[in-house]
Amino acid sequence: MRSAGGATEALIDRLRRAERLVVLTGSGVSQESGVPTFRGEDGLWNEYRAEELATWEAFERDPELVWRWYDYRRQVLWDIEPNPAHEAIADLERAYTRFLLITQNVDGLHGRAGSRDPVELHGNIWRARCTREQTVYDLPECPLESIPPRCSACGALLRPDVVWFGEPLPVDAYEASYEAAAACDAMLVVGTSAVVRPAASLPLVAKHNGAYVVEINTGYTPISALIDATLIGRAGDILPEIAGHLIEVGGDRDQRDCAAKPTEGSRQS
């Protein structure tokens, strides 16, 4: 099924009958909030490419430079708000007993919209990790008072708790994502390019195991011909419509036990 716009009745019916829903999001969702790609277009950083700064080698060579870039990114993100797509996903989570949000985004906007315990495949820019002990810390301070920041326990350098170029995804995060994709009845794939692996394989894992897979994007992707439906348009327009239809009949579903959602001040997910 292909659709250039809103959800069809048949599509809504298939999603309505799903007991296990997985949502996979990519950078297209964040871009609708105005999150830039941070790939050198700003005058302050236009002499650098993200691929030159978001690596362990760059951090070893000049941790202060790398942290100044991340501090700049965090300051840009500080005033950006979740958009209707983020909010609709949080609404869907409250309507389904078995739900998992998997995101490739590091900006924490899903958490600020009310999503609970998303699997963050690429980490979170509002956390840092000790380079010696691997302890993970919340890092809500913005801007940072000290660059580069150091571990309060051992004094070692902290690094952003994100996946850099050349690094594998966190094992626990990917295993949880794969298991959910293999077990779900339906998956929404929102704002992804479907080219960054291994995340791009998750919709195909879901489809192979019998799930109904729907893509929401501003254009077709490499997986469009392999899944059940592609809705062309902005996630912030399409997702609230889908959520509205599903929540009408799904509002009385039992809620799963979840940790309390984070405070807005932490800018976490």
C-alpha distances (whole Å) from 43 to each of 47, 74, 143 are 8, 17, 19
pLDDT of residue 92: 95
C-alpha distances (whole Å) from 12 to each of 96, 118, 221, 224 are 15, 24, 22, 18
Indicate if the pLDDT at residue 253 is higher than 80.
no
Structural domains of the chain, with CATH: 2-34+82-122+169-256 (3.40.50.1220), 50-79+127-162 (3.30.1600.10)
pLDDT of residue 38: 57
pLDDT of residue 266: 35
Which tens digits make up the pLDDT trace of 84-131? 999 999 999 998 989 999 999 999 999 999 999 999 999 999 999 999
Which residues are annotated as catalytic?
Answer: 122
Structure tokens at 225: 């011909």
